[in-house]
Amino acid sequence: MGMAGVIFFAVLMQFYFRKQQGWSTLTQDAIKHAKLGIAVYIGLIILLLIMVGILSLFPSKWLEILFGFLALVFSSLALYWQHLGMQREKVSLHIA
């Protein structure tokens, strides 16, 4: 449940950043990637809350193991996606 809170806070910060015209300096491609990131994070929040609900209704060791494995996989994919975004930004900003 704590991870859903962290993701929710990150999404709220992006909405605030956008509202304060923080995205005005970004390219259209960067804005597209940021919106995709927000959509992915909202999807993860929904997935995490569904997992919490299922475990609350049907507690099981096997479900905990499955959901723990899924959380590990999705966390790893999110880190890799973040890495790819940072590499793309390095190229666009001409940073070695």
Given a cut of 90, whether residue 57 has pLDDT beyond it is yes
Residue 27's domain spans which residues? Answer: 2-92
pLDDT recorded at residue 53 = 92
Q: What is the mean pLDDT of the chain?
A: 85
**CB–CB of 35/5 below 8 Å?**
no
Q: Locate 54 and state its tokens.
A: 């299922």
Most confident of 17-31, 52-66, 70-84: 52-66
The CA R_g of the chain, rounded to the nearest whole Å, is: 16
Burial class of residue 48 in the structure, from the number of CB atoms within 10 Å of its CB (0-12 exposed, 13-18 middle, 19+ buried) = buried
Task: Give pTM, 2 decimals.
Answer: 0.70
Give residue 5's pLDDT band: very low, low, confident or very high (50, 70, 90).
confident
Split into its structural domains, the chain has a count of 1
Given a cut of 90, whether residue 60 has pLDDT beyond it is yes
Residues 47, 49, 50, 54, CA torsion sign: positive
Residue 78 phi, psi dihedral angles, 5° rounding: -65, -40
57-71 average pLDDT score? 92
